[in-house]
Structure 1
């Protein structure tokens, strides 16, 4: 459940940061539930989760592709505005992610990752074919950080032929 909440917060923060960056607005919005309150402070890029016994503040910052610690093909380009790091106020969890595009085909990028990770201990490669299209799914744990990579065809209008999404989560055990 904790992982799900963290992932949900990451998605909400990314969406919120992108929305705020696009409109230049600020302020704070709140959602109240029977279990507590969820507030979003656009000026500070924070989500404040208040429960019955505690409050946790999640802060989003612009990340760096290098901070993810996962290789990307040389011809892959970072999608502007997608590198983000989200950390909790207790200092025990951190989520990071970024998206890239590559002009190479999906299978070529999947094969590149298979070659790059061939000697990586603990690698989980669950790559598959969905609706006739190859999809790369890789995950591993290094130095207490869980990292995952997805490789799939870009949607129409995207810069590259292939989309690479990288996410990492620390302190979620």
Structure 2
């Protein structure tokens, strides 16, 4: 069974609905681990909002440097968690920030990246809609850990029955 790490998007103290959507896709492949990158003192409250998702575990990294230093600081924290969790795939919301993080993370991990996927399968392949929706293509990353961005609202989020286990790790 695969382990899939998802980046939990949030703003103004609220978890985005993409967290449940990514968790639903991740669950197809195996265990879902959510990653929360938040300012000091906010990760526990954000984690509690994931109680109705199928995320099994949440790992949180807190730092006030995320807002000050941007992408470089976020990438350091994500890389730290990837080294700890050793996921088989990484799913990120396909937002402008998510695509930037995915591209930079793939370079850092020497991995392939697939953007704007509309589906994710248990074999870690992704489906994309191309040419204005005229065609769909299925792709699979052949090098490193697949880093895949998923379009928001690509799936209805599955409802979970229990709160995920919570672990806070220190940023390095």
Pairwise TM-score range, normalised by the shorter structure: under 0.3
Using the size of structure 2 for normalisation, the TM-score is: 0.26
Identify, as 1 or 2, the structure richer in strand.
1
Structure ranking higher on relative contact order (CA contacts 8 Å, 6+ apart): 2
Q: TM-score, normalised by structure 1?
A: 0.26
Query: Which protein has the larger Cα radius of gyration, Structure 1 or Structure 2?
Result: 1
